[in-house]
Structure 1
């Protein structure tokens, strides 16, 4: 049985969690609370020496990094649908292209905005440094525009006509700024339709993975009017 180590406040953790659940891959859940430092324990460090989430332990084989985990799951479990990571070389290359691009773009820039606007102020008990927030927002909006104009150019999903693992990775990052009160779909109708399409395809596992995110939105930004409250 596979063990899955995760914190559902982590975007990559949610991506792998949704994929595991959606494809009915059996696993033993091993949730960690990053805010309590559980990812720094001696036991977990043996699984992931980088002390980050997510990670898996599968029959004595340990693997870190969400992108590597998703690719491994697609190869290792024959019942996983081929559409998630197709054997077609060109489609697979397009998926890989996004997965490599997103590290320094969708993931980094949206996460940095969330940290500067929300996480750091909450942890330090201080007001956000608005100059830093504005710089982060500018960089994030450049990436959001690129996502809509380039990755969604004349296609419904990142890699083409069908949903793939690239879309699970993307949607989990695109949701993050909403916990800081920012609506990534405002003024971006193509992105809004894309997010609705992906979420619909990933239900009900999507809402399960995002339960904590919804709770944060409701607490700080107000119930049904919270950004992306279960679009």
Structure 2
């Protein structure tokens, strides 16, 4: 049996199901990942072999021609981009219908959110982490407070649209049940929280949605999955290899332009 190989990196932003594997060093990630989607690997199958490391590493480039993470290798088939990987696995393993509904209109709603997400929530939320922790860590210089304010203003606009257009008065993005859209959204929105920007405060509708996502996923799994994000400030105390700093600093600064 040919297994699945995942290439993961701290500098990627995979959805919740894959984040749990990345933050768990005692081998529990496989069952955690599958429990999110309602599937568990066969005992002793050894099907999933995670890889971690910088996205330009030799291992990652063998899995993804784009040299991007996360990436997936399923036998001779390779796939990049976290959303594409999520959809592929949900179809292959026939996960419970609510994750990516068979109903054509509900599925279209998931697709609609995923299309909107990249240019809005994802375009703003992760930048808080880069500005407050990662860029100062790799460049040795803090960024002006105006830069964070600019990003938070953009994020506030996106959150308003998220609540009014997608969440509305529903329990989850597409209705009464959680879907992949909610997973993709929550993993981005927890990143500002990890650096002290609590975007859920003073947004009761958003806070209630987050609590429902936690309950649907399971609180233990939810916080294991976000462990790295919620403790991201601890990275400020680590020593970074000078060559890695030199390589990544220009790339990180470019992300904020």
TM-score tier by shorter-chain length is 0.7 to 0.9
In structure 1, list runs of 5 or more residues that go unmatched: 221-231
Q: Which segment drifts farther, 166-175 or 117-126?
A: 117-126
> Does 1:66 find its partner at 2:70?
no
The answer for the alignment partner of 1:136 in structure 2 is 151
For the pair 1:197 / 2:199, whether they are aligned, the reply is no
Instruction: Tell me if structure 2 keeps the 8 A contact 1:9–1:213.
Output: no
Deviation per CA, 1:4-60, whole angstroms, max 9, x where unpaired? 222366432544456534233534242413xxx3x2122320211222221111122
Question: Residues 1-231 of structure 1 correspond to what in structure 2 (within 5 A)?
Answer: 1-7=3-9, 10-17=12-19, 19-22=33-36, 23-26=38-41, 27-33=47-53, 37=54, 39-78=55-94, 80-203=95-218, 204-216=220-232
* Contact kept in structure 2, 1:114 and 1:180, CA below 8 Å: yes
Alpha-carbon distance change, 127 to 43 in structure 1, aligned in 2, over 3 angstroms: closer
Q: Which moved more, 1:23-32 or 1:176-185?
A: 23-32
In the TM superposition, what is the alpha-carbon distance from 1:120 to its structure 2 partner? 1.1
Aligned to 1:228: none
Cα distance, 1:13–1:83 mapped onto 2, change above 3 Å: closer
* Stretches of structure 2 lacking an aligned partner (at least 5 in a row): 21-32, 42-46, 237-257
Aligned length: 215
Tell me, what secondary structure is at the counterpart of 2:231?
helix
2 CA distance for matches of 1:25 and 1:10? 24
Q: 1:13 to 1:163 in 2, by over 3 A?
A: closer
Distance of 1:17 and 1:135 partners within structure 2:
28
| Range 12-21 or range 151-160, more displaced | 12-21
- The verdict on how the C-alpha distance between 1:124 and 1:17 changes in structure 2, with shifts beyond 3 A counting, is closer
- Conservation of the 8 A alpha-carbon contact between 1:109 and 1:139: yes
Q: Show structure 1 runs of 4+ deviating over 6 A.
A: none
| TM-score, length-scaled by structure 2 | 0.76
Judging changes above 3 Å, is the alpha-carbon distance between structure 1 residues 206 and 7 closer, same or farther for their aligned structure 2 residues? farther
Report the counterpart of residue 227 of structure 1 in structure 2: none
| TM-score calculated relative to the size of structure 1 | 0.84
Structure 1, 147-156 or 14-23: larger mean CA deviation: 14-23
**Could you list the per-position Cα deviations for residues 103-160 of structure 1 after superposition, in whole angstroms to 9, with x for gaps in the alignment?**
0101111122322233212221112211222111111111112212221102111111
Q: Give the Cα separation in 2 of the matches to 1:190 and 1:160.
A: 14
Deviation at 1:211, TM superposition (A): 2.0
